[in-house]
Amino acid sequence: MRLLYLYSEEWTGKRAREVHTLSTCVALAQAGVKVTLVTAGGQAELRDHLHDIADGDGVPGLDLVVLSRALGPIRSTAIFSRNFNAWVRTVPNFDFGYIIHLKAGPILRDAGIPYAYEAHEIFAQSAGNPVRQRKLHELEGSVLEQATKLIATSAPLATALGTWFSINKDFTIVPNAGQPPLAHSVCDPEGPYVYCGSIMDWKGLDAAILAAKEVQAPLRIIGGTVEDWRALAEKVDCSGVEWRMRVTLREVPEALVGARAGLVPTNFDMPAGEFSCPMKLFDYARCGLPVLTTALPALQSLYVGKWCTEVPSPSTGSWIDAFKQFEYDPTAGDEARKWSEDHTWEVRAAQIMRALNAA
């Protein structure tokens, strides 16, 4: 199979969706699919990121192509589309396209390439104003309708998309994933709770920080830049919280060493968080950490065990209760690592291949 993964943004090497995209492409290539990942810029960042994820400068079966969407100071999808159309005429035909961005849909449609659309959220739900919501709703509905295959990271998301857009097609449920489990747990039952990931507003960190301070629980936060941390500290009292700057994927296990449990305080009351399937959950599990997470709808598709405590609300009060009630279980680390064996990028690639090959 020849697969074109069209990622119509500049590559930064810092976004969770880039880890998701590159890890998926690497796993598919290692499973025998000939994958071409096309991005809209950031060649050096993409190469560095590949080295971090795949432990090398290249992966057999995976080609990386960078096509700019810039013309001087102007950046636009139209420029990228023109460059893409010129490039795609020079290469052999692809069996499938694969996208997670809405703007990539019309590009593949105009090129006559059937595509699979993988949904991570409802984009129209996150629009900032009615005009943008209407445009996003129209584009999202069109991309969903024209997709040859539909994939969603959770069953609740698939159901919500079907309702929002009156879709009669079936979705294949393929959750996010992570690296294979470590040989041993890095957990220390006397250590701090840990959060590792983005520190943007909808991640729910303010509630977790306030709750930890209320019960005097030690807390380590790993993520963001100095500027990001200062911005967070202006909104919530972070005194006494251990903070470390964002680390690469390869450095995550070391950063989690000595933690008591991993936190996923995502605020599902915000549009960007409602259908989140956070990759930090998989990072914690592979490292043998128990997890405390808000009761995200995506968990219904993940069948987590007792090692994963679901906090019913993203409120500070619920997190205070969760910290007070948490009791370390010495079997939790092994159970989490065992669960992660079934949720690797390799397993995910096999699920995607089955979906693409299905009649």
Return the closest-CA partner of residue 154 out of 44, 255, 15, 297. Answer: 297
User: Which string of b and e fits 134-154 if b means at least 16 CB within 10 Å?
Assistant: eebbebbbebbeebebbbbbb
Q: Which CATH superfamily is domain 2-177+345-357 in?
A: Glycogen Phosphorylase B; (3.40.50.2000)
Backbone region of residue 41 per phi and psi (left: phi > 0; alpha: psi in -120 to 50; beta: other values):
left
Reduced to 3 states (helix: H, G, I; strand: E, B; else coil), residue 63 is strand
DSSP track, 202-224: GG-HHHHHHHHHHTT--EEEE-S
For residues 80 and 92, give the distance between their C-alpha atoms in angstroms, rounded to a whole number. Answer: 20
Reduced to 3 states (helix: H, G, I; strand: E, B; else coil), residue 107 is helix
C-alpha dihedral sign at 311, 317, 319, 324: negative
For residues 245 and 159, give the distance between their C-alpha atoms in angstroms, rounded to a whole number. Answer: 37
Q: Which two tokens stand for residue 70?
A: 């810039």
User: Which string of b and e fits 61-90 if b means at least 16 CB within 10 Å?
Assistant: bbebbbbebeeeeeeebebbbebbeeebee
Reduced to 3 states (helix: H, G, I; strand: E, B; else coil), residue 311 is strand
Q: Specify whether the CB–CB gap between 287 and 182 falls below 8 A.
A: yes
CATH 3.40.50.2000 positions along the chain are 2-177+345-357, 193-341
0.85 exceeded by pTM: yes
Reduced to 3 states (helix: H, G, I; strand: E, B; else coil), residue 96 is strand
For residues 10 and 40, give the distance between their C-alpha atoms in angstroms, rounded to a whole number. Answer: 5
Beta bridge partners, 193, equal 219, 261
- Please state which of the four CATH numbers 3.40.50.2000, 3.40.50.620, 3.30.413.10, 3.10.20.600 is assigned to the domain occupying 193-341: 3.40.50.2000
Q: Return per-residue pLDDT of the chain as tens, 359 residues.
A: 999 999 999 999 999 999 999 999 999 999 999 999 999 999 999 999 999 999 877 899 999 999 999 988 899 999 999 999 999 999 999 999 999 999 999 999 999 999 999 999 999 888 778 898 999 999 999 999 999 999 999 999 999 999 999 998 999 999 999 999 999 999 999 999 999 999 987 789 999 999 999 999 999 999 999 999 999 999 999 999 999 999 999 999 999 999 999 999 999 988 888 999 999 999 999 999 999 999 999 999 999 999 999 999 999 999 999 999 999 999 999 999 999 999 999 999 999 999 999 96
| Interaxial angle between packed helices 155-165 and 130-146, expressed in degrees from 0 to 180 and rounded to the nearest 10 | 110
Q: Which pLDDT score is estimated for 200?
A: 83
Exposure of 306 by Cβ count < 10 A (0-12 exposed, 13-18 middle, 19+ buried)? exposed
Q: Specify whether the CB–CB gap between 67 and 104 falls below 8 A.
A: no
Spatial strand order in the sheet of 219-222: 242-244, 219-222, 193-196, 261-264, 291-294, 308-311
